[in-house]
Structure 1
């Protein structure tokens, strides 16, 4: 994948002001976004970073089926509190299977299948996300060392394989509710997430 930096602007939010930067693949026109704070001053210190894949249902509609919206909001608040950090918001809905297939998978979950089996029943991978765009995004932001905010060990491994210097991990355990207990258990038991 080759993506290019397109534009940046200030973005006031409920959590404080961020710089929003847009990156685009010139061929597919696929867009990814970085929200950042405090990167104007160069620092060789590790920077708080969350690599967050788009989740329309959780991020925009406050779905209780997942913990995505609470994770995004908690990270925005944490980065503002720390005064330095970035969120790489990747347009990879439904762990990379797209919104339509995600809703099809939801229908299978309504029948009792977990999130992994629902994807597999649709002949889709359990997780189709890629992270190659993050190298260009981090370089544009001037981030050299990453303190990754994640519960997903495969995300850490993927970034390290790309040559990203992940020096530490911060857990992010928010958004648990009675409607997503099975979802979180599946992430822990079948996808090795660390809670």
Structure 2
């Protein structure tokens, strides 16, 4: 099925060696695009050989400066990025790195929400207290990117049912969803529980009788 989005085209392809803090290294083909619906500078990282799989493994990873670059333990973004890179490289597929900081509200607003979380609100309550959506992300550009790469059937590496739902609504065939690992720490456990409770993420967590505030 053809996605119900305007076409995007490949702009640049360049091979970049990646190296993670734990020593894992891999080379990715990093691809930029013209014509993305939201005008943002999203990139695709092709890892391994997607052509070897009937449905390549795909991860939609929303940018998280604090977690991806600075190793913040308030979320699980950095560990998910590291895990996804290796798993996709092993099977062949694509990691879309999407410029959607703070579930689409932006870096400054995310840090404002962090301040509210320190007063007792969870990550979703903090967004709405700022007058912002719980999750502002739209995956139209992601569908355009995958289509430009010739991918219309895929396995989706995610715990978030909204990602699969949006891609299907945009005409892509998500053959199955593959859960990521559970990267819980004392600092992010309340955040992970909020994702399960508010947006039904498929994360297996031990019950929390009392949430520290």
**TM-score (norm: length of structure 2):** 0.85
Specify which of 43, 66, 91 is matched with residue 57 of structure 1: 66
Which residue of structure 2 aligns with residue 47 of structure 1? 56
Structure 1 gaps of 5+ residues are none
Q: CA deviation at 1:190?
A: 1.1
SS in 2 for 1:16: strand
Which residue of structure 1 aligns with residue 86 of structure 2? 77
Structure 2 gaps of 5+ residues are 20-24, 204-213
C-alpha deviations, 1:30-60, integer Å up to 9, x for none?
2001001244x74570110001111111111
Considering only aligned residues, what root-mean-square deviation do their CA atoms show, in Å?
A: 1.9
Which residue of structure 1 aligns with residue 31 of structure 2? 21
Instruction: Identify if the C-alpha distance between structure 1 residues 27 and 159 changes in structure 2 by more than 3 Å, giving closer, same or farther.
Output: closer
Which residue of structure 2 aligns with residue 8 of structure 1? 13
Which residue of structure 1 aligns with residue 148 of structure 2? 140
Specify which of 95, 102, 117 is matched with residue 109 of structure 1: 117
2:40 aligned with 1:30, yes or no?
A: yes
**TM-score (norm: length of structure 1):** 0.92
Kindly indicate whether the alpha-carbon contact (under 8 Å) linking 1:44 and 1:145 is maintained by their aligned counterparts in 2: no
Kindly indicate whether the alpha-carbon contact (under 8 Å) linking 1:35 and 1:88 is maintained by their aligned counterparts in 2: yes
